[in-house]
Amino acid sequence: MKIVIVDIYYAAFLASFYRDHLGLANRQYGEQLKTLLHACFGTSDFYSRHLNTLGCEAHDLIANCVALQRAWALENGTRYSELALELSPKWGRLPILGRWLAHMPGLLRIAADQVRAMKPDVLYCQSLTLFPPGLLRELKRHVRLVVGQIAYPMPPRGYLEPFDLILTSFPHFVSRFRRMGIASEYFRIGFDERVLEKLGAVKKRVDVSFVGGITAAHGKGTALLEFLARNTSIEFFGYGRDALSRDSPIRARHRGEVWGLDMYRALAGSRITVNRHIDVAESYANNMRLYEATGVGAMLVTDWKENLGDLFDIGTEVAAYRSPEEACELVRYYSNHPEGATAIAHAGQARTLREHTYLLRMKELVSILRSHLK
């Protein structure tokens, strides 16, 4: 089974990454792709690596990386005016790599050409809105199964209808898609244990952290974080600081953006880390931080959800709060009882490495895809 996995990366990460890797934009497509995947941003090659070990032929496409996609177009004899950027020593330092929207028409055509050239059995889209519905329908002539994955607010129905199957870590979305007549399956996120090898030993230098983005989609969660900022020693790592009000108490505790392995390093260097879900998750636990934090050995304090006990043993492998006040109490208690925090961190990590790895998830995925390819 040949699978093409199409992803998009945060613009801020791409801009930062290419600034830190001067000259990479001038390199061949394969070298750029390998370097990007090595950074462990998002799901990186966590899907493709394990799918390949399971006997599939899986390929990663990062559809919105201007330098990467331009390299593919040039190497394959295709030029698009939208990507006709001057290559010079200065170009690698410019943030234009993150401003991919201006190049979207050309980027979409390149991604579509890549799919047509590879003719996969499965086109696996990590974004349901990357390809316009008309283009996605046209691409269906070149693939057997078009699959999407979602863990964010549902886009307009027109973007959903071309998909043959939509996977989601939101249990409540499955029935909603099915009521629309769209095949859907529950599919959880996980952790790639190779991250531990890449990190090596990391010292616990931060007592309590929050690692992640702060956006309008996390409205309720932002109020929680501000409460913790006023009442605990929590430190913040990630993006979204500039979107906060000037008087937000988070600003003084914010340590800046962290991406890929640096994000994992911030988690691993925390004795305790706080998680909160996006509003659209409603009453269900699903996000990547559940597995990333426990996977690298931090004690996780997360918001209580009705299915959390299906993923972790609450009180033994993670701690859960139902209010900002309870979150504050848990943080304070385990800050003052580090041996208890360590015990929960170790138990949570063991659970993730036993039951929530991407190898196990990909075994589930192969089974799902095969059942829908019939």
Domains and CATH numbers, the chain: 2-190+358-373 (3.40.50), 194-355 (3.40.50.2000)
Contacts of 154 (CB under 8 A, 6+ apart): 160, 173, 176, 280
For residue 27, give the nearest of 57, 65, 78, 54 by alpha carbon.
65
Q: Cβ distance 46 to 84 under 8 Å?
A: no
- Spell 247-260 as b/e; 16+ CB within 10 A means b: ebbbeebbeebbbb
Residues forming a β-bridge with 2: 57
Q: Cβ distance 121 to 143 under 8 Å?
A: yes
The neighbour count for residue 278, using CB atoms within 10 Å, is 19
Q: What pLDDT score was predicted for residue 106?
A: 82
Q: What pLDDT score was predicted for residue 77?
A: 82
**Token digits of residue 206:** 């931060």
Direct distance between the N- and C-terminal alpha carbons of the chain, in angstroms, rounded to an integer: 12
Burial of 152 (C-beta count, 10 Å sphere; 0-12/13-18/19+):
middle
Q: Cβ distance 89 to 34 under 8 Å?
A: no
Q: Which residues of the chain have pLDDT under 50?
A: 81, 84-99
Q: What pLDDT score was predicted for residue 217?
A: 60
Q: Cβ distance 125 to 6 under 8 Å?
A: yes
Q: Cβ distance 289 to 298 under 8 Å?
A: no
For residue 273, give the nearest of 293, 296, 258, 287 by alpha carbon.
293
Helix (H) or strand (E) holding 218: none
Q: Is 49 left (phi over 0), alpha (psi -120 to 50) or beta?
A: alpha
Q: What pLDDT score was predicted for residue 102?
A: 55
Look-up: residue for tokens 């990186």? 44
